[in-house]
Each structure stands twice: as structure tokens, then as C-alpha cells.
Structure 1
Amino acid sequence: MIVAKFGGSSMADAEQFKKVKRIIESNPHRSAVVVSALGKSELEPVKLTDQLIKLSQLKSNKLQYQNELVKIEKRLADIKAALALNVDIVELLKPIQSPQNNLTEAEITSRGEYFTATLLADYLDWQMVDAADFISINNHQIDYDLSLKKLNQITNEKQHLIVPGFYARNEQQQITLLERGGGDTSGAILANLLDADLYENWTDTSGILQVDPRIINHSRKIYELTFDELQELAYLGIQVFNSAAIHPVKIKGIPIQIKNTNHPQDLGTRVVLQRAHPTDITGFAGKQNQTIINLKQYQLNRDISAIAALINCLRSQNYNFEYYQTAADQLTLIFNQIEDQELCNALDLIQQQFSNQLEINVQNHIALVAIVSESLKQHPAMTGSFIDKLDQSDINVKSVFQATNDIKVVFGVNNCDYQNAIKMLYNQA
């Protein structure tokens, strides 16, 4: 069985619906489909989700929202007419149309996926199963046992299902949204529940590139990578796949295939537990505008209570670090860039947690440049050669972060050296 998820660009208009239908029908094993809300197209420059958010805000502020509703109705009606569907658009819109229906913003926003799934189910003559009827969240986590129980109560066939992505139901029985890009997560959850053989993620790109195309045009494509490598690249800003969608399929070893709806013949990128050629460099990524705070004190690593109190204190003030690294006498924290006054406040909070003398070194306006590869675990000495290459290119390495058995090495460089550092490492790999 294949679970296929189609993103907003794949569901943008009637022509995209036709492509999706051809893809689904080309393989009988594609028996469960998750969809995002209608995305942007040439005639529709705004995502349906954003239209619904705007409508929700107008309604909550008791402002005129009928014009926005008319735009949404026309958009759905155009697809209905082009595909000769039987969906009653007026009936479909009733819950968000009435001023008396005090729907939450999450409920209104989720209708983008719901409307899109309803249209596609009609087009394919498949069963539409509402995600809110079975995907359950308890204590901010997916409850897989309860979700599977509910799914089995709805359908025993587990065949030819259309499911709207991006939302679920929480323990208060309210519709709650997954994080942006949560359609990927919904697809991964469904693949997990159905014990799928493969989870396909259809988008508008033919897989993942080794480098952000805004930095290097036509960089090499990644044909295969591991779940852990994808997790690291997604965390560092690769936009093709939502990092929260990795865990549901990883725990069952279900491969992911990232494909292009507009070019379905392209191989795309496959995500697996173990690569066939783990010696290759997988990808290069990074983030600009970071702040590095290095704390040094004799036997700092033994002052666990102070370190824990420090971290909790910083988090309570919304200073959430991206990375940290410890050594015998040092603790290094990396944050999204903290500006001057906030930085002073953060340093005061740090100082308050330590009674003894504490050396604090701050580096601001730093970029992180990461190399991701399973091969780094077997060959940690590779890091030295990367540092040499950066040094030969007159790129000053401010810091290096690499834990034991880590599949990435992260270099801190000046913001102004960010793109040059990635280009140099890519060209030398």
C-alpha cells in the first residue's frame, strides 16, 4: 500500500487535479491520499488557507467578510465546473458563511483542506474521511492507538481514502491545527496507521537539492538520504519537507519518496533507514543571524542544577536556543540573533544562575554552516579538512560544533561569509 500526500501546489486548480488523478490511477497501490488546501496558481495568487485566515479575522473583528467569502465560493465553483463535479458548494460553505456560527480560527482555517479533500473525493469517487474524526492529540502528542481505533471504526477497508491534512482533534474535542506544513505530518501519520509500504510526498520540486538553489543554481540532487539526515537538513531550513513528518514513518521504517506532481517521471528523493552509499556527503545547509554565547567556569559540567535553572530561566523569557554543546569547563548556547538590549537582559539572567566567577563570551551576527552526512560518524577527521578549506578561502571559523557520533558538523562564521562558505564546501566535496 502507498499513502500519497499532495501539497497545495499540486491542488492549486482544475488542471492540477487532473495531474493528481493521473498519478493516482497510474499505480493501483496508491490507495490512500492526503491533501493540502488549494495552493497558489496563475489565476489565484493567494493560497486558500490564507483566504480563510483573512475571513476568520474579519469575522472575529465583526467586519464585513462577504467579499472574501464570494472569492472562496467562486474558486471552488470554478473547479467544480471544470471537472463536472457534484459537490454542493453552497452547502459546503454554510458552516463558515453564517454569522451565528462562532467557529474558532482553527476551525475556519482547517476548512481549506476539508474543501479540497471533498472536491478530490468527488472527482475520484473515493471515500472522504475527515481527519478530525480519527487523528487524535493527547497532551500535545499524536495518540496513535486511539487514532487507529477511530479509523477502524470509520472504515474497515482502508482502501481508496481521501483525508484532509493539517489538522486533528485534541482531548477537548476541538479542532487543532498542526504546525505550518502539517499536511506532510498528516500524511506520515496516516502511513503509520495503515502500515504503508511507502509514503509518497508530491510537491512542485523533483526532490531535495544538496544546496539551497538561491545560493547555488542547479546543485546536485540528493537521490537518497536517511531519516536522520533529512531531519537535520529540515531543521536547518530545507523547505521541501516538514521535519515533524519524519518521526511517524521512521518508527515503522516506512520509506519516503519525494516527487514532483508536474514531472512525475523524475526519480525524486528517497528517504530510508540506511543509505546504500553512506560515504557520500548528503547536503549543505545553514542559518544566518545567530548569537553564540560561551560560558566558562571551572568544572562547569558538574554544576548541573545551575545549568538546568539557567536553561529554564532563559526559556521562560522566550530565549530558546538552537544548539548547545558542553565540555568540562564550558557550555555553549546558540540562539536566533538576540539584539542589543535583549542580549543584555539574557546575559543578566545567565549571570544570576551562577554564584562563582563565570567567563562569558558573546559572538553576534554569526551564520551557521552545516555539512550533513552519515559518513561523519565513521570519519570524524573529515572535519579537519573542512576547516582547512575554509581557512584557505580566508573564511574565519568562529566555532565548530560536532558531537560524538554526530552526522553533522556545524561551523560558525561571520554572516558576510555565509554564502561563500557554503559554495566553497560544496565545490570541494
Structure 2
Amino acid sequence: MKVVKFGGTSLANGAQLEKVIRIMQADSSRQVMVVSAPGKRFSNDQKVTDLMLSFAKIVLAGAEDSHIIQTIVNRYLEIAHYFKIETTELKLTLNKKLIALKQQHYPNFDYLYAAFIGHGEYLNAMVITQILNHIGCHARFMSPKALGLQTTGSPLAATLDPRSYQQMAWLTLDPQEIIVVPGFFAYDDQGYMTTFKRGGSDITGAILSHGLKPTLYENFTDVSSIFIASPKIVSHPMPINHLTYREMRELAYAGFSVLSDEAIVPVIQDSIPIQIKNTNAPDADGTLIVPQRTNDLSLLPITGIASDTRFAALYTHRYLLNSEIGFTLKLLNILYRHHISYEHMPTGIDDLSIIFDKQLSSPAQFAAMRADIARELHPDILEWYDDYAVIMVVGEGMANNPHIINDILTPLSQNNIKISMINQGASRISVMLGLPVNQAQLAVQTIYYHFFGQ
């Protein structure tokens, strides 16, 4: 049995859904289908998730909402019409669901937003199930609640309660059926809908893979593979045929957007391979993410290069810092006091830098933190870099290459790219570089062209 997830671009309209159905029919072991909400049909279009968010804002404002409801309903009816389904009853059902959604009581605004945007997936799974049965496939809609998926944490960034996996263990599948599961959301212990973090449907697919133990988790998107570097930075980069869990985790941290790191953790626990495939080119090899390399897989020195500009850095210099007992403890207490987490803390004899994820704290928190550090720790130099980028150079083959640091840094130096931080993990399969945002793109290009040519 395989778990198969389809993203929003794969389900944007009837023609795309027809491709998805052919993919499901081509392999009888594809029995668990995780679906996103319909994505953009063309460049200036709106995703259904965005329409649902607009609907929520209109309801909160107390404004007229009939137009937005009709727009949302029409997106689903358009898909149903493609398969020649009589839509009178479906239209009534969709309208009732959306009207009930705005009439429900919610503990706070976050719960309201979670319910509204989560219904993009809910309604799509419901419609797709009807379409599958209409064309002769034996399909069953399966709500996350019926599967026993229960969440904890905040409504818009929920995490799965591990006890949910015990509930999934009891699920049995008819060998001839497809179960259609809406991605992105589940329910908390009070029965309220909550949503996962970004890439939420990917997370649902990974959760189901961990709970149902398939032979393969297939993730269909709009790209044929994961590339060594972002096509937005390097023109026509080479594809990655095989990738290990460790490599994927390292690359996802620095912005590899095909799968977030949260979306692969559940499958890592069971060593289930993940296949990245393209809905529009399903016969392409794609990228296979595996537990570990085997001898017949080529081990290039570098597997991937990723960069992200979401960081900030704090540099402190104080003479004899290394001999002052308790300096780091005092610094960390200040971070704790302001509810700020840090990503990395490279140190020297008299120097200490801290790398922060700017998405996790507000500018006001960072400003208050810096003021307390200056007042309480009295550093000789205290500098804040708000435009900081991190580049991850990753590859299982790096561990056995004694020249890898030199091979990475030499071409960067030749291009006058100033690296302010270098960190190689204990696993030796990654090198992290810190540098100004305005040099990050050139740095990625320089590393890529040095190892893989033009």
C-alpha cells in the first residue's frame, strides 16, 4: 500500500484532477490519497485557501459575504462539471457547509481562521470522493477526526498528539478502495479544527505514512525532482536522483521548499522512502528520499546547496570573554527573559555570535534583548545584522572528503564573497555558511558552478 499526496497545483481544476485520477488508477497499491485545496489555475488566480481566508475576514468584519461564498462554491462546481456530474445537490451541500462555518462558535479568532482555511481541503476531499465514485472508482471520504488525528498546541500551528497513531492502527482498507483524506488540518481535544504549519498537507501525508506503514510515500507536486540548487538562483540546475533523510533535513532547514523538515520527521521514524514526483510528468524518475545511501548510489561530494535569508545575527566582542565564568549563562537568561530562541552560537576566544530566525520573534523583542545585553553584560562591541543569510552545503560524500572546506571557500574568496560564519556539524555531511543577504545568491552560484560546471 502507498500513501499519495497531491498539492494544490495538481488539483487546481478538472483537467489537473483528471491527471491525478489517472495516476491513482495506474497503480492499485495507491490506496491512501491526501489532497490539498485547489491551487491557482493561472498566474493571477487565487488559491481556494486564499479565498477561504478572505471569507473569514469578511465574516469578522460583518460585511456581505454572499459573493465570496458563491466564488468558493463555483471553484468546486467547475471541477465537478468537468466530470459531467449533476451539481444541484452538490451546490446545496457546499453552501450549507460554508454557511454553517460562519455560524459556528469559536474560542478565539485563531480557531476561526483555522476552521475557515482548513475547509478548503475538507470540501475538496469531499468533492473528489464524489467524483471518484461517479467515474467507477470505489472511494471513501475519511476525515482526520475519523482517523483519530488529534492535535495539541496553537490552532494555526498545531502538532499531532502521538496517541493518534494508536487510533490509526485499527484502520483496515478494502483492497479495491481508495480513501481520500483532506490534508493540512486535524482536530484538538475539544473538537475544534486546527491546522498544521506551512506545508500542512505534506505533514498529513507523513503522519499517515507513519501511522499506516505503507511501502512508499509518494508526494506529487509541480516539479519533476528536487534540484541541487534552486532554479530561481541557478539556471537549469541538475536534478537530485537520490537523497537521504539526513541530507533532506539539512537542506530543508535552509529553505529547500519541496518538503519542510516537519513533513519528513514522521516517516524517518519508520524508514519509509519518500518519492517526489510531478503530476504533469508522472513517468519522470523524480527524487527518491531514502534512509541511507547504498553502495550502488553515486556519492558526489555535494548533494545540494540551499540558502535562506530569514536570519539575523548578533555579534559580541569582549576582551577575555573566554575566562569570564557565567557570561554565556547571563546571555542565555536574557534570551529566555524575552522569549527568544536562537539557532546557532559560534564562539571564539573573545567573540560570540548568535544566529536568530527572524520569523520566530518580533523586532521589538530583539530590540529589548539588545538593550539588556548592552546594559547587563557591557560588551566592548555589540553589532546587530538584520540582513543575514545562511547557506547549507550538504552531501553524504562530504564526510570522507578532507578537502571539502577548502573546495567550498576557495572559489568564494576568488569572487570576493565575505563569509562571516562557518560551521561544520559533527556528522560532517554539511557545512553552514553565514554571510550578508546581498551576497547569498552569488555565493550559491559560485559553489554550484565550481562543483558542477556551467
TM-score of the superposition, structure 2-length normalised? 0.85
Q: Distance in 1 between matches of 2:290 and 2:427?
A: 19
Residue of structure 2 equivalent to 1:203: 221
Q: Indicate which of 419, 436, 440 corresponds to 1:414.
A: 436
Structure 1 position 381, deviation (Å): 4.1
The structure-2 alpha-carbon separation of the partners of 1:373 and 1:310, relative to structure 1 and needing over 3 Å to count, comes to farther
Q: Which residue of 1 aligns with 2:51?
A: 51
**Aligned equivalents of 2:351, 2:404: Cα separation in 1:** 24
Shift of 1:76: 1.4
Question: What is the percent sequence identity of the aligned residues?
Answer: 28
Query: Cα 1:345–1:67, aligned 2, differ >3 Å: closer, same or farther?
Result: same
Quote the residue 2:96 is aligned against: 94
Give 3-state SS (helix, strand or coil) of 2:345's partner.
strand
Structure 1 residue runs without a partner (length 5+): none
After TM superposition, list the pairs within 5 Å mapping 1:52-67 onto structure 2: 52-67=52-67
Match of 1:2 in 2: 2
Query: Post-superposition shift, 1:156?
Result: 5.6
Does the 8 Å CA contact 2:168/2:212 hold for their aligned counterparts? no
SS at match of 2:425: coil
CA distance in 1, matches of 2:245, 2:333: 33
- State the alpha-carbon separation in 1 of the partners of residues 241 and 104 from structure 2: 48
Give the AA of the match of 1:207: S
**SS at 1:237's partner residue?**
coil
Q: 1:131 aligns with which of 144, 152, 155?
A: 144
What SS does the aligned partner of 2:58 have?
helix
Q: Which residue of 1 aligns with 2:247?
A: 229
CA distance in 1, matches of 2:117, 2:168: 23
After superposition, residues 213-252 of structure 1 pair within 5 angstroms as 213-252=231-270
Paired residues in the alignment total 424
d(CA) in 1 for partners of 2:103, 2:405: 62
Aligned to 2:373: 350
Give the partner amino acid of 2:308.
K
Q: CA deviation at 1:229?
A: 1.4
CA contact 2:150–2:187 (8 Å) conserved in 1: yes
Contact 1:313 1:349 in 2 (8 A): no
Do the aligned partners of residues 24 and 306 (structure 1) sit closer, same or farther apart at CA in structure 2, a change above 3 Å counting? same
Q: Which residue of 2 aligns with 1:403?
A: 425
**Which structure 2 residue ranges, 5 or more long, are not aligned?**
107-111, 134-138
- Aligned letter for 2:98? I
Report if the CA contact (8 A) 2:334-2:369 is conserved: no
Partner AA of 2:336 in structure 1:
N
Counterpart position of 1:84: 84
How much does 1:167 deviate? 0.2
Cα separation, 1, equivalents of 2:200 and 2:362: 31
- For residue 20 of structure 2, give the secondary structure of its aligned residue in structure 1: helix
Instruction: Note the alpha carbon deviations across 1:201-222, whole angstroms, 9 max, x for none.
Output: 0001111111111111111111
Residue 418 of structure 2: SS of its match in structure 1? Answer: coil
Q: How does 1:98-137 map to 2 (within 5 A)?
A: 98=100, 100-102=103-105, 104-125=112-133, 126-133=139-146, 134-137=148-151
Paired with 1:19 and 1:300, the residues of 2 have a C-alpha distance of 65
> Following TM superposition, by how much is the alpha carbon of 1:64 offset from its aligned partner in structure 2, in angstroms?
0.7
Q: Which residue of the partner structure matches residue 376 of structure 1?
A: 398
1:427 maps to what in 2? 449
How far off is 1:294 after superposition? 2.9
Using the TM superposition, name which of 211-220 and 41-50 deviates more.
41-50
C-alpha distance in 2 between matches for 1:29 and 1:194: 13
Q: What's the secondary structure of 2:322's corresponding residue?
A: coil
8 Å CA contact 2:73–2:94 kept in 1: the answer is no
Q: What is the letter of the counterpart of residue 420 of structure 1?
A: L
* Amino acid of the structure 2 residue aligned with 1:7: G
Given the two structures, how large is their TM-score scaled by the length of structure 1? Answer: 0.90
Amino acid at match of 2:315: N
Q: Hey, what does 1:36 align to over in structure 2?
A: 36
8 Å CA contact retained: 2:301, 2:401: no
Aligned-residue Cα RMSD (Å) equals 2.7
In the superposition, relative to structure 1, how do residues 150 and 196 fare at CA in structure 2: closer, same or farther (>3 Å)?
closer
Question: In the aligned structure 2, how far is the partner of 1:111 from the partner of 1:132?
Answer: 13
| 2:210–2:266 Cα contact (<8 Å) kept | yes
